């Protein structure tokens, strides 16, 4: 039986767009494609009806820096219009205001694409100089691959989102990475099927882009399509056999398919390449714990707790091992681990019962131990271990 995998701490790994040293934008222009604002509809209608010689044009989306003064923002539309007409002129282009500081434009009749690119750079420079503000720009050309005329504004939106990762003054042309970022945004919004389509479009442009392949696999995995997910991860590993996130993801697929030995094999391989990935350490520790290989599990759980001090699962399993799984039991260390787990997840019945037992073994804080033991049984009334611990603590009190 194949299960959809939704754990918060053990999950598929993907190279997130916000992994870039410069933070992603607070708002994404590509979100406008889902909202279909009046301005977007109006611009697309004008573009659809425009008589463009040769049907070749360049589309750009321009944004005045959000840090600009209110006075600058008030002048933005007039300055943009003046600069647009001075560089391009209204006979060979159209533009539309998207909001007070953002504009969309299309222009044509530039002989060669490089000429058009120079005109765009000039326009960007003129606006920036006139407003004394940074200008962000995303650019999409037509024709381009298999995209339709109606796709071009959306492509420019994706390009400006791409540009935003490099700062408020950057200009970026639409490419496969733009689609990767757009797919990541859809993934972030839980629009997984739309994200899948976006990653596929990106792969039509860059068939060996590992981030795109891996992200496509992750999306399949999230919606429970495990076999297609595995197929994508295997494509990625064939391109780069040492790509840690892909090795981990294959291991996770085997774990989901209940082949724990293969999962451990891949996770050990990933660990051998990079010992500082939380998800690898946690899942490897978790699987070794399940197999009762306590001494082998503990170092990975220690690493997981170090790499992510907010992960309650690692602390809980550490507590269980210290409590009664090793030859030499250590209730003091067990209590410390359970205490940390409960601070992160106060409703963790295993940690409540384990912490109660650790305190009882040390003959300290027995009233608190009794309270915790009672809570654990209230949360899991059919758990015989919790009930037995409660009875023992009641006798001690």
- pLDDT for res 25: 65
What pLDDT, on a 0 to 100 scale, did the predictor assign at position 109? 85
Q: Which two tokens stand for residue 50?
A: 């425009």
Residues in the chain, how many? 397
pLDDT in the model for residue 291: 96
Q: Which letter, b or e, does each residue of 16-30 get, where b requires 16 or more Cβ atoms within 10 Å of its Cβ?
A: ebeeeeeebbeebbb
Q: Looking at residue 18, what is its pLDDT?
A: 46
Taking the CA of residue 67 as centre, how many other CA atoms within 13 Å lie in the half-sphere pointing to its CB?
9
Q: What is the pLDDT of residue 2?
A: 33
Q: What is the pLDDT of residue 111?
A: 75
Q: Tens-digit pLDDT profile for the chain (397 aa)?
A: 233 333 456 678 887 654 444 456 667 888 888 777 888 999 999 999 999 988 899 999 999 887 667 777 788 888 988 988 888 877 789 999 998 889 999 999 887 888 889 999 999 999 899 888 899 999 999 999 999 999 999 999 999 999 999 888 899 999 999 999 999 999 999 999 999 999 999 999 999 999 999 999 999 999 999 999 999 999 999 999 999 999 999 999 999 999 999 999 999 999 999 999 999 999 999 999 999 999 999 999 999 999 999 999 999 999 999 999 999 999 999 999 999 999 999 999 999 999 999 999 999 999 999 999 999 999 999 999 999 999 999 988 7
Looking at residue 393, its pLDDT comes to 94
- Paired residues of 63 in beta bridges: 102, 136
How crowded is residue 272: how many other Cβ atoms within 10 Å of its Cβ? 12
What residues does each domain of the chain span? 23-174, 309-397
pLDDT of res. 16? 62
Pick from 348, 345, 368: nearest CA to 357: 368
pLDDT at position 7, please? 43
Q: Dihedral, CA atoms, 355, 357, 362, 365, nearest 10 degrees?
A: 60
Distance CA 335, CA 305 (A): 15
**pLDDT at residue 5, rounded to an integer:** 38
Contacts of 160 (CB under 8 A, 6+ apart): 29, 61, 63, 136, 137, 138, 172
Query: Between 1.25.40.10, 3.30.70.1350, 2.60.40.1510, 1.20.950.20, what CATH number should domain 309-397 receive?
Result: 1.25.40.10
Contact 168, 62 (CB under 8 A): no
Q: What is the pLDDT of residues 166-219, one digit of tens each?
A: 888 899 999 999 999 999 999 999 999 999 999 999 999 999 999 999 999 999
Q: Name the pTM for this structure.
A: 0.87
Distance CA 368, CA 112 (A): 78
Residue range 23-174 in CATH 3.30.70.270: yes
Tokens of 351: 């940690």
**Cα distance between residue 342 and residue 234, in whole Å:** 39
The pLDDT value recorded for residue 10 is 67
């Amino acid at each position: 039986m194949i299960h959809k995998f939704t754990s918060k701490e053990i999950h598929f790994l993907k190279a997130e767009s916000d992994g870039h040293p410069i933070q992603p934008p607070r708002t994404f222009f590509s979100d406008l494609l889902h909202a279909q604002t009046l301005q977007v509809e109006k611009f697309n209608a004008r573009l659809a009806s425009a008589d463009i010689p040769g049907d070749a044009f360049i589309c750009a989306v321009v944004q005045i820096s959000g840090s600009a003064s209110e006075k600058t923002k008030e002048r933005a539309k007039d300055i943009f219009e003046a600069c647009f007409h001075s560089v391009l002129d209204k006979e060979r282009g159209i533009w539309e205001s998207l909001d007070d500081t953002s504009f969309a434009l299309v222009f044509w009749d530039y002989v060669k694409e490089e000429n058009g690119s120079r005109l765009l750079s000039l326009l960007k420079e003129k606006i920036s100089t006139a407003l004394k503000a940074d200008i962000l720009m995303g650019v999409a050309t037509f024709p381009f691959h298999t995209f339709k005329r109606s796709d071009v504004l959306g492509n420019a939106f994706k390009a400006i989102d791409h540009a935003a990762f490099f700062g408020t003054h950057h200009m970026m042309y639409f490419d496969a990475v733009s689609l990767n970022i757009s797919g990541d945004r859809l993934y972030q919004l839980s629009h997984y099927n739309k994200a899948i389509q976006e990653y596929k479009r990106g792969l039509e442009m860059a068939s060996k882009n590992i981030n795109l392949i891996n992200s496509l696999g992750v999306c399949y995995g999230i919606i429970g399509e495990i076999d297609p997910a595995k197929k994508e991860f295997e494509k990625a590993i064939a391109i780069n056999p040492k790509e840690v996130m892909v090795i981990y993801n294959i291991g996770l697929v085997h774990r989901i398919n209940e082949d724990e030995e293969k999962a451990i094999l891949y996770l050990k391989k990933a660990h051998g390449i990079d010992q500082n990935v939380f998800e690898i350490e946690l899942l490897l520790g978790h699987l070794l714990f399940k197999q009762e290989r306590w001494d082998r599990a503990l170092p990975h759980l220690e690493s997981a707790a170090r790499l992510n001090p907010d992960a309650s699962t690692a602390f809980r399993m550490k507590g269980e091992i210290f409590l009664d799984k090793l030859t030499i039991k250590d209730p003091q260390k067990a209590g410390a681990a359970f205490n940390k787990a409960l601070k992160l997840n106060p409703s963790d019945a295993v940690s409540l019962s384990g912490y109660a037992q650790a305190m009882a073994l040390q003959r300290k804080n027995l009233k608190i131990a009794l309270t915790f033991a009672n809570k654990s049984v209230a949360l899991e009334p059919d758990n015989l271990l919790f009930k037995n611990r409660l009875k023992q603590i009641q006798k001690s009190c």
